[in-house]
Amino acid sequence: MCLAVPMKVTQIVGPNCTAEMSGITARVRLDLVPDVRVGDYVIVHAGYAIQRLDEQEALETLSLLDELSAHAAEE
Partner 1 sequence: MNCPPTPPRNSLCIVSQWNMTNPDPSDIYFDSFRDPDRVCRLAACIRRELAGPITLMEVCGTHTMSVHRFGLRDLLPTELKLLSGPGCPVCVTPNNYYEQVRLLAQNRDVVLCSFGDLLRVPGRDGSLEDLRVNGADVRVVYSPAQALEFALMDPLKKFVFLGIGFETTAPLTAAVIESAQNECCGNFFVLSGHKIMPPPMRALVESGEVAIDGFLCPGHVSVITGDAPYRFLAEEKGKPCVIAGFEPVDVLQGLLMLIRQRNERRSAVEIQYTRAVRPEGNPKARELMQRVFCESDDDWRGLGRIPLSGLRIREEYVAYNAAQLIPPVEIPPEDLSGCICHKILRGIALPNECALFGEICVPDRPRGACMASQEGTCSIYYRYGR
Does 72 contact ligand SF4 by CB under 6 A? Answer: no
Three-class DSSP category at 13: strand
Per-residue binding letters, 1-20, with ligand SF4 (x by CB under 6 A): xx------------------
Task: Report how far residue 33's alpha carbon sits from residue 15's, in angstroms, rounded to the nearest whole number.
Answer: 10
Phi then psi for residue 72, to 5 deg, are -60, -40
For residue 10, give the H/E element and its range: strand 5-13
Chain contacts with partner 1 (rule: CB under 8 A): 1-4, 6, 22-23, 29, 31-34, 41, 43, 45-48, 50-51, 53-55, 57-62, 65-66, 68-69, 71-73, 75
Which residues lie near ligand SF4 (CB under 6 A)?
Answer: 1-2
